[in-house]
A and B are shown apart, each in its own frame.
Chain A
């Protein structure tokens, strides 16, 4: 066995190099604090590190979203609180207004405060968040939710179609607000001012603004009578392209409305769009203008509430009616169905019996319905001086006979056209059907048991103002319900946010700990290793220098 001198030296150098490489690698680890410095150090671990980091980042982004949603929901909650206190004050004022006697000055004072409350409520509906977005406008967030529309004469909803949602976790979206159309508008109402029938279904809803406005007007002696009205369900704010060059092409439809005479006869107009072949309607107002050119003089009009198109008869009250028909694209484009129709209602005061008269009458009756022999007479009058005494003196077998008997006597009397009895209601309802400020109906006892049977008190009077104010009171309660319901959903959403945030925090903590196990250097082990390698290098260096000095030539 022999070894060459140069190879012996090379072996020593190789050994030192190897130790230096190890030492330098450990040094890299110590200075960076990472166990895996390049992917080749541990390829499987480097992929795990990337995917764990991805999970952490995903969860962190969701936490950011949660903060954003929470801030917005806080603003919404605050605004609802303000709205509720406005409502409470409005209720107080309404009760005050109902308490007779009340002078005109008092009424006007209450009215001006109601007007202010109305403006405040509009302000709440138009609350903006820190970015200047209107929180109740949904996806049309740069437009105020509520504005005053002069043509329609009330506050209308101008916001978007959908509330906005944000992801707070994978597959979990939370809305960061609500649409004013669900909170301030479309609230159940018992008032006849809100009463229209659409497709023979009664639709009794109005906005809180309309409610307050009706009170304000009533205090000034004005009363709104609703007209027949049809509203399209599609958001057509940005108009439509019916030009002959466009994708939709021309369309037509027909509108039938009462002619305003009260006789039941109608006008029908066939509307053609486009009015001009190249007309591209850029906004809904242009569509309305083009339609109105064709409707002029037919006792009907088209208008828009900013987002949707409406067709209304110019007549108000029970005689007003409107219907839309057609097969063209206009109906589906704007959100109607062919045959949609609406009728108006008359506004009036009414008095309602407190007891139901049973039919067929039970024998023996505690109070006889056989008015033959025990004639009952009562008087109906309105405060304008029209009155009539109604005489009941026969055996009435059923409710219908009783009503017919009363109706026969109303016909041809001074109260005809002013007071009517409801055709089917049991308990009995007497209604004023004129809509002037003095509209009222009163019942007085003359003789007999009719009032006792029905529970009326002599002198019971229904006044339009009282009716209106009572309706407002009931409606304000409904508004309060809506606000509370909305606050509840907001609260539920905020709790969901808290839950999710907690879960995510725990998740992130777990992942971070796993990541650290894989990625970070175990300093104790590394430093120990560093010391050993350092010693090994020093030993190799010393051995090398010792061996180098050995040569036979030194001894020759």
Chain B
């Protein structure tokens, strides 16, 4: 009887300890409540029947549902993705909503100044105001672009931090794998190192916030973790190192990769599909880069259209108008082009905006490939459509013109060889490099100097006509010209598109984020229903086990009394 009671005492003591462990860990993240599994001890045959021998502890197990835990992980990934995406999108949204930074008033004030100096072409003060407004306009483009650049740098820093964190988590998981395997080795059968398992699940959860993972069971209760579309992260006890490196074709962007032990980095940027890392990469590709390029296309269109009309006119001294705006591709500087590292030595292309095709300026990236000795292919990255080009009079032009058209650019090749590839981002730097080219108000070309003689023949006057404002009228009319997007939008319309694209994407990201958050909460709900600690329940258990212990202790005291009675009867 004593030993039976002692089994009870031991069992209830363990139960109380386990309940105490649960209560202490009520706020521990990822902790699954544990219970002591009791079973009767092996019964003994005692003549008249089988006599129970008490209780034995079979296992201390955790309340755990494999499916729900998996569900929680994937919800965490999905939410991490859209949450980070909508956070970053809101930043860009706020930039464009800020009335002090907005382009719309800057464009309006610029054209107002054009109008005012057209009303008064001989007035130097009015011209000076126009130059000031031009400066404000170009600075405004630059300011917005600089904010974009800030966000881009912030993203890059975040990506470095995330890569380190992922590597850290992977290393923890590998270590935990080894510890769990060791612990598992010391047991027989079902006993599991519960706390280690909880800890590993917790690290997996944190990892899935950053990147989507899939978990496959391995031997000895170890797990293998794969990232994205199948890149190995943890194999039993070894973890890979996740790093970032500068993108091959865009020096301002980072790629994510896995470093092998030879030092080679396997780039996996396109294979990541969940978690904050995916959200960040998606933001960059869907919102940040297109917003910068759309803004650039507005800047490029204004500059090219204005320059085109300005060069037709004459200034206050009767000199023909020069370039009004400067910038990459707009004046003397070419659009920066990235050459693939494997290109032949000395091969290069010069890309400028085409002043006869300004309406075709497009915000996508383009890849130029030399496919043959005289054949070239230009691919539009946004939709992967491509056109063929041939070399005519020193320029690359569409073979199938006019059905195919270049996106408002001219391409001049030099020493190209088969296999050379270039990345062209025509409007990427337009907003940051647009600048005014004129500093002397007398050089603004507001006159056309055009006249018609009595026979009806037109001719050009070769000296200053200070009161002639006809070129100014043409410049002012540009404000309402539908010169963008294939001649369907004005400059303000083009800028409006930047704002609305970001607004739409941010708005739908917010909605997606709210939806995912609900799903995540549901998963957390299910998980905590199964595995969470309820203090009231533990309090009730405390009472229960306490009473059981007291009862079992009482059993010992009874057994002691019986023994004393027996001894007393004998002596």
Contacts and interface: CB of A to CB of B under 8 A. Distances in A.
Interface of A: 1-7, 10, 14, 37-44, 46-47, 50-51, 53-54, 57-58, 61, 64-65, 68, 131, 133, 137-142, 160-162, 164-167, 170, 173, 233-235, 237-240, 332-333, 335, 337, 551-553, 556
Contacts of A162: 451, 468, 470
B119 A238 contact: no
Interface string B463-486: 111111110010011011000000
Contacts of A556: 539, 542-543
B528 A161 contact: no
Nearest to A141: B467
B181 interface: no
A53 B104 contact: yes
B506 interface: yes
Contacts of A7: 524-525, 528-529, 532
A39 B529 contact: no
| Residue among A5, A166, A240, A551 with most chain B CB within 10 A | A5
Contacts of B539: 551-553, 556
Contacts of B453: 233-234, 335
A246 to B, nearest CB: 11
A446 B544 CA distance: 165
Contacts of B116: 64
| Residue among A64, A167, A551, A556 with most chain B CB within 10 A | A167
A239 B304 CA distance: 33
Contacts of A165: 469-470, 473
Contact of A40 (B90, B462, B492, B535): B90
B461 interface: yes
B237 interface: no
Contact of B535 (A5, A53, A141, A333): A5
Nearest to A232: B453
A39 B93 contact: yes
B434 to A, nearest CB: 20
Interface string B513-545: 000000001001100110111111101101100
Given A2-B534, A5-B532, A239-B462, A166 B119 contact: yes
Given A39-B506, A58-B479, A131-B120, A64 B468 contact: no
Nearest to A72: B119
Contacts of A3: 528-529, 532, 534
A335 B466 contact: no
Given A2-B537, A167-B477, A131 B496 contact: no
Nearest to A51: B496
Contact of A160 (B465, B535, B542, B543): B465
A239 B461 CA distance: 9
A415 B503 CA distance: 100
A330 B121 CA distance: 32
Contact of B318 (A4, A65, A238): A238
Given A139-B447, A139-B465, A141-B121, 14 more contacts: A14-B521, A40-B510, A41-B507, A43-B507, A46-B499, A53-B104, A54-B492, A133-B467, A139-B469, A141-B467, A237-B461, A238-B464, A240-B462, A552-B540
B454 interface: yes
Contacts of A50: 104, 492, 495-496, 499
Contact of B467 (A10, A44, A137): A137
A399 B534 CA distance: 138
B396 interface: no
Contacts of A2: 529, 534, 537
B111 A5 contact: no
A3 B524 CA distance: 11
| Residue among A44, A65, A139, A551 with most chain B CB within 10 A | A139
B217 interface: no
Interface of B is mostly: helix
B536 A131 contact: no
B526 to A, nearest CB: 10
Nearest to A550: B536
A237 B463 CA distance: 8
Given A39-B502, A40-B89, A551 B122 contact: no
Nearest to A40: B506
A442 B214 CA distance: 127
A164 B469 contact: yes
28 contacts: A3-B532, A5-B536, A6-B528, A7-B528, A7-B529, A10-B524, A40-B506, A40-B510, A43-B504, A50-B104, A50-B499, A57-B112, A58-B480, A133-B467, A141-B467, A160-B465, A160-B467, A160-B468, A164-B467, A165-B469, A167-B473, A170-B480, A233-B453, A234-B451, A235-B451, A333-B459, A551-B539, A556-B543
B527 to A, nearest CB: 8
B451 A161 contact: yes
Contacts of A131: 120, 122-123
B461 A47 contact: no
Given A14-B521, A65-B119, A233 B454 contact: yes
Given A6-B533, A61-B112, A337 B455 contact: yes
Nearest to B542: A556
Contacts of B121: 141, 164
Given A39-B502, A234-B459, A54 B468 contact: no
Shortest 7 CB-CB distances between A and B: which pairs? A4-B532, A141-B467, A238-B463, A39-B503, A43-B503, A139-B468, A40-B506
Contacts of A58: 479-480
A75 B506 CA distance: 56
Given A37-B97, A38-B503, A40-B90, A6 B477 contact: no
B147 interface: no
A418 B502 CA distance: 94
B493 interface: yes
Given A54-B108, A337-B455, A139 B96 contact: no
Contacts of A6: 26-27, 528, 532-533
B115 A65 contact: yes
Nearest to B103: A50
A165 B510 CA distance: 52
Nearest to A135: B467
Nearest to A556: B539
Nearest to B492: A54
Contacts of A39: 93, 96-97, 499-500, 502-503, 506
A38 B97 contact: yes
A43 B495 CA distance: 13
Contacts of B104: 50, 53-54
Contacts of A137: 467
B115 A64 contact: yes
A387 B457 CA distance: 55
Contacts of A5: 26, 532-536
Contact of B499 (A14, A47, A54, A140): A47
B94 interface: yes
Contacts of A41: 503, 507
A237 B460 CA distance: 12
Contacts of B528: 3-4, 6-7
Given A65-B119, A173-B473, A161 B454 contact: no
B457 A332 contact: yes
B118 interface: yes
A233 B465 contact: no
A233 B469 CA distance: 22
A424 to B, nearest CB: 30
Contacts of B112: 57, 61
A6 B535 CA distance: 9
Contact of A43 (B490, B500, B532): B500
A65 B457 CA distance: 32
A237 B510 CA distance: 68
B536 A233 contact: no
Nearest to A3: B529
A508 to B, nearest CB: 14
A85 B148 CA distance: 68
A140 B529 contact: no
A333 B457 CA distance: 10
